[in-house]
A and B are shown apart, each in its own frame.
Chain A
Amino acid sequence: MGNVLTDDLQVTKPNLEVFSATLQHLATGDRNVVVITSDSRGSGKLVPFGKKYPTQMVEVGIAEQNLVGVAAGLASTGKKAFAVSPACFLTARALEQIKNDVAYSDNPVRLIGISAGVSYGALGSTHHSLHDFAALRAINNLKIVAPADNYETEQAILQAYHLDQPIYLRFGKKPMPLLTEDSTDSFTLGKGRVVRRGQDLAFIATGETVYPALMAAQKLKSERNLDIAVVSMHTIKPLDTELLQYFAANAKAIVTVEEHSINGGLGEACASFLLQHDYRKPFKIVGIPDEYTVTGSQIEIFNHYGISEVGLADAALTLLNTMT
């Protein structure tokens, strides 16, 4: 499985653009690749795909339930169906179609939640998806993936294409710095990626929060000489419990980070596993608290809730200080 990033894509791009480019690459060699959109080809960066492969793009209009049902029907015939819609609508409005038509019926639809988390910023809670991990984690036969950077996005799409199983992938809107310079770990669905090594504490982060976690780790190294590990836990389900166990055994404390409600997401998945396997570590879940989300841009919302270089460094120090 080769790396298909073209030279111009080595410059950091929104993960969405990498998704679109990767899909075009796949469609070049496989006419069964079909994209289904709900008036979302623009926001999904799929206009070039639609121009190049008009017969491989299905537009259903703003109708997410139908989007997923139609995608399930297409997938049942062997089509490699990528159902693309804003994560907020895809995973709430069409939740029953995801549960029944995709997961329960085992139709291998690749569900693509775009502009996920609080990517839509000031458009507000109607357009935020802070529930998707929680809602989808409770559904059997569905993988959940939030790639951190362009490399992970490309690999996630390529592997999802080959996997031929129900899967949900979510992407944000903003350009994401490549984390590869900090890691030689390759990307494998279901296996967390160690972006930075360290024993003092581990940030277990996912999606677009991995980068601020890495910044916080670097800050704590330069200011406090702390060695902090950073894991891109891109696959929320199935969770890489082997890697989690390694850090539970070897790091002094764990902070999970996610662009999601603190309820039911990555943090609670990790906590549940650790508690049930007798790991008693200082542990903190950083995410969006259970309240009306503050208004602002994605970065302002991140900063408000401490999903930032400073906020995560503070969270780590607070946790480490409680141990002394």
Chain B
Amino acid sequence: MIVSELIAKSKEYRQKILKYIVGANAGHTGGSLSCIDILNVLYNVVLNVSPDNFESPDRDRYIQSKGHCVEALFVVLADKGFFSEGDLNTLCRYQSHYIGHPTRKVNGVEQNTGALGHGLPISVGTALAAKMDEKNYRVFTLLGDGELPEGSNWEAALTAAHYKLDNLCAILDKNNLQITGSTADVCNTDPVDLKFESFGWAVKHVDGHDLAAIKDALESVPFEVGKPSMLIAHTVKGKGVSFMEHNISWHHGVPNEEQYAQAVAELSA
């Protein structure tokens, strides 16, 4: 998919994210809008994964550690044909598989996530298996900057470097906000690039909303042979809707009718 098509996709995805969050009257709005451009590039350019090959042991894996931003994932998976988009009308409804975090009961979801700090260790194990079996698949995982203080991330970061997992790429959705406030105020993890570099990772930065730049960065994985890759995506929480951007009240805020109309107007402009 070329960049102009990716740009159109992101506009479409953002509107759908809001549509289904409004429909469910629940969801993680700000984070889904901050990570959607990354998911767009992953599923439309980078990942060798589709409904047709999802059972193949050779497929690429995407594991979403920041599971609460499941609305972004569901919208993309529906677009890729893993299930009918109409299923998302049941989001968070009684007995629906489409709950507020990824579950394997939804076609296309690799792992059940939601508790933070779990995606990276599982991704390390999955990437390690590829090395053992001399398979070429790669493992991508999306972390939120708010979940970085979970110690399991750093345990896994050590193991990834120790086993030279250059088939593993972690992407940090660095929107600098978490539920209480700024990540710098809650528990500062900066300079996060130097931390991962010192752990033995190859690190790159990218504007997490510049689709061409994300594409270039993810197509250059591994950043360095023999090292796991960390792409720090600088993003804006609530990206694309003026009153949501940089505003923690939209962490899991749901727009009312008027706000929704304004958001759709901005996103379709």
Contacts and interface: CB of A to CB of B under 8 A. Distances in A.
Contacts, number: 98
Contacts of B129: 73-74, 76-79
A34 B104 CA distance: 24
Contacts of B122: 69-70, 72-73, 76, 101, 105
A66 B156 contact: yes
Central interface residue in A66, A77, A104, A105, by most chain B CB within 10 Å? A66
The binding surface of chain B is classed by DSSP as helix
B141 to A, nearest CB: 10
Contacts of B124: 66, 69-70, 73
Central interface residue in B111, B113, B162, by most chain A CB within 10 Å? B111
Interface string A76-100: 1111010000000000000011001
A66 B155 contact: yes
The binding surface of chain A is classed by DSSP as helix
B53 to A, nearest CB: 15
A106 interface: yes
Assign chain B's interface to a size class: 20 to 34
Contacts of A96: 115, 118
Interface in A23-59: 34, 55-56, 58
A305 to B, nearest CB: 35
Contact of A69 (B114, B125, B133): B125
Nearest to B132: A55
B128 A74 contact: yes
A69 B104 contact: no
Interface residues of A, number: 30
Nearest to B104: A105
Interface of B: 57, 104, 110-115, 117-118, 120-130, 132-133, 151-152, 155-156, 158-159, 162-163
13 contacts: A34-B132, A56-B132, A65-B155, A66-B121, A66-B156, A66-B159, A69-B152, A72-B125, A79-B129, A100-B113, A100-B115, A105-B112, A105-B122
